[in-house]
Amino acid sequence: MSDRDEARATGLARIRAALGVTEDDAYRRAAVADRLKRHPRGTIPARAPKSPEDCVPLLTDMLTKQGADVSRVATKEAAVGAIASYLGSNGLPPRLRMGADRVLAALPWREAWDIERVFGRAEPTDKASLSRATVAAAETGTLFLVSGADNPTTLNFLPEAHMVLVAARDIVGSYEEAWDRLRAVYGPGTLPRTVNMISGPSRTADIEQTIVKGAHGPRRLHVLILG
């Protein structure tokens, strides 16, 4: 047992002792198993769209209010053009870090032949990255990005500018629907190691209540809604 596992086991044992329960408490085990099986719903805000056609405008509005740039693109060619335009208009070099995502790889990059694409985990010197969101929840304007070689988590945090492609059909109303979509994609009990939920560029007001961008991640977030 590693030091981390030992510390975890010790911490859980202390919690159980404080609650007066044992590790093999059948009632508690049954309650946990039932909850995991049913995936009970929380309170869903009234603003969460009831129809798919209402999801895109709400997601756009929520993301914009949180400082993100949002572009609606009708075709894959338009998506590549928007990426190239965003790099140029923000004074960023024509170089893009991305993972092995097949959807992103299949974009018609010939339309932006001058963009250099590099692959793998982000490096501290990278200025811009591109990821794909598996799903998005319109209720808060939140993108769900999963970890793995297709979309390394470092792409979400290291570069100065982060671009995210999400299909319009993958935008749902609530968090509950978003998690349902992830379960449908990965199967029960096989979710990715990490799910990053992103609603805007990095910012903080911890120091003297002054907004500082890029403190914990990208200064810019550009969301491309395809379809």
pLDDT per residue as tens digits for the range 78-120? 999 999 999 999 999 999 999 999 999 999 999 899 999 999 9
pLDDT of residue 189: 76
- Distance of alpha carbon 55 from the chain centroid: 17
CATH of the domain spanning 52-226: 3.40.50.10420
Question: Which contiguous run of DSSP H or E holds residue 166?
Answer: strand 161-167
Q: Classify residue 185 by burial, with Cβ atoms within 10 Å: 0-12, 13-18, 19+.
A: middle
pLDDT of residue 20: 82
**What is the DSSP-derived secondary structure letter of residue 172?**
E
Q: Look up the pTM and report it.
A: 0.82
Which residues of the chain does CATH 3.40.50.10420 include? 52-226
Q: How far apart are CA 15 and CA 13, in angstroms?
A: 5
pLDDT of residue 139: 95
SS3 11: helix
Q: One digit per residue, pLDDT tens: the chain, 227 residues?
A: 788 888 988 898 888 888 888 777 788 787 777 777 777 777 888 888 888 889 999 999 999 999 999 999 999 999 999 999 999 999 999 999 999 999 999 999 998 999 999 999 999 999 999 999 999 999 999 999 999 999 999 999 999 999 999 999 999 999 999 999 999 998 877 888 999 999 988 655 555 555 555 456 689 999 999 99
Q: Which residues contact 65 (CB under 8 A, 6 or more apart)?
A: 141
